[in-house]
Structure 1
Amino acid sequence: MKLLNLFFISLLSLTTIAAQTPVADSLNKLLLAEKIDSNKVRLMWQYADEINNSEPERSILISQKAVYLARSIKYTEGLSRSLGILANGFINIGNYPRALDYHLQKLKIEEKRNNPRNMGSVLINIGIVYVLEQEYEKALFYYRKADSVITGNNVEDLIYQVKLNLGDAFDKLNILDSAFHYYNMSLKRAEVLNNNYYIGISKIGLGHYYRKKIDFDSSATNYRTAIRILTAENDDFLLCETTLGFAKLFKQNNQLDSAQHYAALSASISKKGNFLSNELDAAEFLKDYYREQKNIDSAFAYFTIVQTLNDSINSKAKVRDLQILSINEQTRQLQLEEDKRIAAKERSQQLQMLFIALFIPGFFILTLLLSRVRIPIRVIKVLGVLSLLIFFEFLTLLLHPTVKEITHHTPVLEMLIFVAIASILIPLHHRVEHWLIEKLLQNRERIAGEKKIRIKSTRIKLSSNKK
């Protein structure tokens, strides 16, 4: 089903552009006033999602900023959501490789979490991107994984979508029995939900299936139901596909007048909605139809229309390519800014570590010097303990990134390693603490003893001089 590739993504933004405007404005005002970073991320991805269809470039830039902010504050849910919206923005402008990259980043996050809905959603979206790239086997792989997650965890609001998309993938691969199985399952789910619109979409798939199986009556019944529902729902986008499918069915059954009627209807609806690709499909059908009927004038007229539409689509593709280049450059500039921010943060951390590294021996030397001064013994003990505590905490701070990398951020393994390190460091800390304090006190007593000897020696010399 040519147009159902984007069905799941379209469900993310079912409101019309007119309905989006006040919501988008409201979200933008809230975002400008928000001070808490996690709330900013949430408002940014919501705002980007709201304008994804109407302003995809702006949506991409906002969701990209949300990704950077979410990463910096370690806000996992916000990062996952923002990556999903960012990927959908790139789908809207036709940059499928970038969309796939961001969906795969989102998948890596969800694989470490326990959120079946998010996992099912991202797996479906990855499958959709592969369908758009016409890599149907890969799409089927991810749809099946999504089906396993969704069915196994009874994610009710995604059951219909995954069954429909599975049917679409099998349909594209011409594995018709499996296509029928999943289209039929999607229809049953739509009936359980009592969702007339979903029923209409499933009927399109079944209409295609029965047409390929050369079952005219069953195909016609499904197409008619779909046309009635989609007309009532004002969904011209899917109505184009349905009417053209019906035209192909009539031509296959040698009912040529009806074939011409529904193909012309598809072309008219496509032209009205400015669906160039759909209009081109209908024009190609009519061009071949009139050529076979030896109607030279009409065939030539549609040949001209096909050429014009091809030129328009190519021109639109060039504009889209320029749009992709433009947004790629803007996102590159954002990446450069983010790299600078991260580099500045790392420099700050390195300077802090350097300061601590210099402070520890300095503090230790200060403790040794103070031991020569006549101050309370309790103060010397406290300073000795503090110097060792700072040293051992610094050691733990240095080891922590290495431990995280070794364990791949697995909390249980991190805990076990730090317990093992602590079992070594704590006894060592106590031993060194007692040794240091003892040495400091011995040093204090030695200095005091030397001072007494000097005083006594001075007194003896003074006494000798008096005699």
Structure 2
Amino acid sequence: MRKLIILFCFVASIQVAFAQNKYADSLKTVLANTTNPLEGFNLLTKILENQSFIRGGNIDSAECVRLLQIAQQLKNDSLLAASYNWIGSYFSFTKGDNATALEYYFKALPLAEKANNKRRISSLDFDISLAYYALQNNKAAVQYVRKGGDDLPDKSHPLYDFMLLQYQRGMATWYLSAKQPDSALYFSQAFYETSRRVNSIAQRFNALASIADAYTLSDENELADVYIKKVIAISDSVKMIPIKLKFSNYYIPALLSKGNIPEAMVQAKQLFTLGESNSNNNVKLAAAGFMRRIFDSLHNKDSAYYYSRMEASINAQIFSQNNINKIQSLAFNEQIRLIEEEAKKTEEEQRRKQNIQYALLALGIISFIILFLMLSRRHITNTKLIQFLGVVALLLVFEFLNLLLHPFLESITHHSPVLMLLALVCIAALLVPLHHKLEKWATHKLVEKNKQIRLASAKKTIEELEKK
């Protein structure tokens, strides 16, 4: 029965991979024929997403460079944020250089926030968390996982499941590292269901490995073995380095604990080859550690010492003082930036409220003067004065609405000057006809009032003359 399950998983993975290859080829064909820079950027992004996140392949640095060139050409903050995000992911996932990856992630964050791009902000949060997990700073990692969860786009967004999956993956990783199998299993199973909706073989592989790990933590080894077999059945379809590494970090220790030294040796050598071929220090460090443990268990002191020295050397490269200082500096700079941004927002909000109060006060004074002149029975008022005051009132109303609606307009237009201008023109288009009607009504009332004042004055004069 188990063999049938494995065969079914293998055949299904082959069919999915074939369909995804066909989709990737069609994207490349369209890209080759497009001349529109924005369309080219979107196509490159889809190719990278399909290659890495869906199919589990590695990120192509050349395509990341092309994204950055287009974003710089278009001078678009949202596109620049996406470009830096992909460059950071290349360094983190393919090269294992998490210090450089964090540098690009933190460079992208303010650009994504400026563009109010929640999907990109949450993506950066999750990628930063992965870098911190790789650097064994789990507390910092889970902070960014939770922040990414808070920054998820609306459920109606086409990439909502794509982002939700990353939140579930991050929380599963946190609970696995914290040795809390029940919570880990809950998030791992949710992660698996979302990966099926997204139709990502790479993330399905990742989720199945997390479920197996959770069952192992619960000492439910038979269930863990079932999921390990499912993972192995589709492992050849997944090439993405961090996903391979995550599974190896669980599977090889499990083999060693069962005394299956030959298979552990095979897996460790494959992992080392993967690290060597991609110059990925994270992978080489893990592989060297596993090789050292294997040769220790075989009482082969020379080989164990060789891999021990290699492990220490790679570890020193990854966790050197310069790298640690660089990472701490990046984290500190990001913390300062967030504090300054918060202070700036608070100051702008207070200034906006103050300006609204000034606009209301001025509008109230002008309205009072107009009403006084209209209702006063003692003064004959020139209609041109009312028209002038009406224009001033119109400008004050427009400025008041501009101050009141500005944050809302920024959020829906994503700070686009053209869209902001169109929105303000629409507001003006509604106000001007209303102003004309009010002005006509006020002028009519004023003329009637002036007639009544003149008539009353004439009657009074006649009465005074009759008395004489």
* TM range, smaller chain: 0.5 to 0.7
- Please point out which of 143, 147, 163 is paired with 1:118: 163
The yes-or-no answer on 1:168 pairing with 2:213 is yes
Please say if residues 96 and 133 of structure 1, whose CA atoms lie closer than 8 Å, have aligned partners that are also in contact. Answer: no
* 1:75 alignment partner in structure 2: 117
* Of 257, 267, 273, the match for 1:234: 273
Alignment of 1:88-127 (within 5 A): 88-110=130-152, 112-114=154-156, 115-127=160-172
1:103 partner SS: helix
Counterpart-to-counterpart distance in 2, 1:315 and 1:322 = 13
**Aligned equivalents of 1:39 and 1:98: distance in 2?**
27
Q: Which amino acid aligns with 2:331?
A: N
Map residues 199-218 of structure 1 onto 2, 5 A cutoff: 212=257
| Contact 2:101-2:131 within 8 A present in 1 as well | yes
What percentage of residue pairs aligned between the two structures are identical? 11
Provide closer, same or farther for how the CA distance between residues 78 and 175 of structure 1 changes in structure 2, counting only shifts above 3 A.
same
- 1:187 match: 232
CA positional deviation for 1:441: 6.6
Any conservation in 1 of the 2:383–2:446 contact (CA below 8 Å)?
no
Q: What's the secondary structure of 1:145's corresponding residue? A: helix
Match of 2:333 in 1: 330
Matched, 1:373 2:376: no
- Secondary structure at 1:334's aligned position in 2? helix
Amino acid in structure 1 at the alignment position of 2:105: S
One-letter amino acid matched to 2:212? G
> How many equivalent residue pairs?
377
**What does 1:192-341 correspond to in 2, within 5 Å?**
193=237, 212=257, 220=262, 222-223=263-264, 226=267, 230=270, 234-236=273-275, 275=284, 279=288, 282-283=291-292, 290=299, 319=321, 321-341=324-344
Asked if structure 1 preserves the Cα contact closer than 8 Å seen for 2:91 and 2:97, the reply is yes
Deviations along 1:418-450, one digit per CA (max 9) or x if unpaired, are: xxxxxxxxxxxx9xx99x999997676455423
State how far apart, in whole Å, the 2-side matches of 1:304 and 1:226 are. Answer: 19
- Write the distance in 2 (CA, Å) between the matches of 1:196 and 1:41: 23
Aligned counterparts of 2:245 and 2:326: Cα–Cα separation in 1:
34
1:67–1:82: 8 Å Cα contact kept in structure 2?
A: yes
Q: Which residue of 2 aligns with 1:66?
A: 108
| Structure 2 equivalent of residue 46 of structure 1 | 86
Shift of 1:395: 12
Residues 57, 331 of structure 1: CA spacing in aligned structure 2 closer, same or farther, 3 A cutoff?
farther
2:152 alignment partner, SS class: helix
Shift of 1:100: 1.3
5+ residue gaps in structure 2? Answer: 1-50, 375-379, 410-433
1:384/1:437 contact within 8 Å kept:
no
The answer to whether the 8 A contact 1:48-1:63 is kept is yes
What residue number does 2:128 align with? 86
Structure 1 residue 361: deviation in Å? Answer: 0.7
Aligned match of 1:178? 223
* 1:349 counterpart letter in structure 2: R
1:146, distance to aligned residue in structure 2 (A)? 0.7
**What residue identity is the alignment partner of 1:330?**
N
Deviation, 1:167, is: 1.8
Largest Rg, 1 or 2: 1
- How far the C-alpha of 1:365 sits from its partner, in A, is 2.3
1:360 and 1:385, CA in 2 relative to 1: closer, same or farther beyond 3 A? closer
Tell me, in whole angstroms, the C-alpha distance in 2 between the residues paired with 1:279 and 1:199: 15
The 1:171/1:237 distance shift into structure 2, 3 A limit, reads farther
Shift of 1:147: 1.5
Q: Which residue of 1 aligns with 2:77?
A: 37
User: Shift in Å at residue 182 of structure 1?
Assistant: 0.8
Partner of residue 358, structure 1: 361
Question: Matched residues in 2 for 1:359 and 1:118: separation?
Answer: 48
Deviations 1:311-332 (A, max 9, x none): 9958975736544432222212
Partner of 1:254: none
Structure 2 vs 1, CA of residues 25 and 321 (structure 1 numbering), >3 Å: closer, same or farther? same
Aligned CA distance change for structure 1 residues 92 and 63 (closer, same or farther; 3 Å): same
Task: String of CA shifts for 1:155-205, please: whole Å, max 9, x gaps.
Answer: 4452222112322333355431121111111233347x5989999997997
Paired residue for 1:145?
190
1:234 alignment partner, SS class: helix
Contact 1:167 1:180 in 2 (8 A): yes
- State the distance in 2 between where 1:278 and 1:340 align: 47
Q: 1:96 to 1:71 in 2, by over 3 A?
A: same
Following superposition, the deviation at residue 113 of structure 1 comes to: 1.9
Could you say what secondary structure the match of 1:110 adopts?
Answer: coil
- AA matched with 2:143: D
Partners of 1:353 and 1:45 lie apart in 2 by: 39
Q: Given that residues 183 and 205 in structure 1 are in contact (C-alpha distance below 8 angstroms), is that contact kept between their aligned partners in structure 2?
A: no
Q: Deviations along 1:386-431, whole A, 9 cap, x unmatched?
A: 7998799799969x99xxxxxxxxxxxxxxxxxxxxxxxxxxxx9x
Instruction: Give 2:345's match in structure 1, choosing from 339, 342, 346.
Output: 342
Distance 2:198 2:57 in 1: 25
Q: Following the alignment from structure 1 to structure 2, what is the Cα–Cα distance between the partners of residues 360 and 332? A: 42
Following superposition of structure 1 onto structure 2, how do residues 10-29 of structure 1 map, counting pairs within 5 Å?
A: 15=58, 20=61, 22-23=62-63, 25-29=65-69
Structure 1 CA distance for aligned equivalents of residues 282 and 77 of structure 2: 41
User: Quick one: distance in 2 between partners of 1:303 and 1:190?
Assistant: 31
- Calculate the TM-score normalised by the size of structure 1: 0.59
Summarize the Cα distance change of 1:59–1:210 in structure 2 as closer, same or farther, 3 Å threshold.
closer
Distance 1:121 1:212, change over 3 A: same
Pick closer, same or farther for the CA change 1:165–1:354 going to 2, 3 Å: same
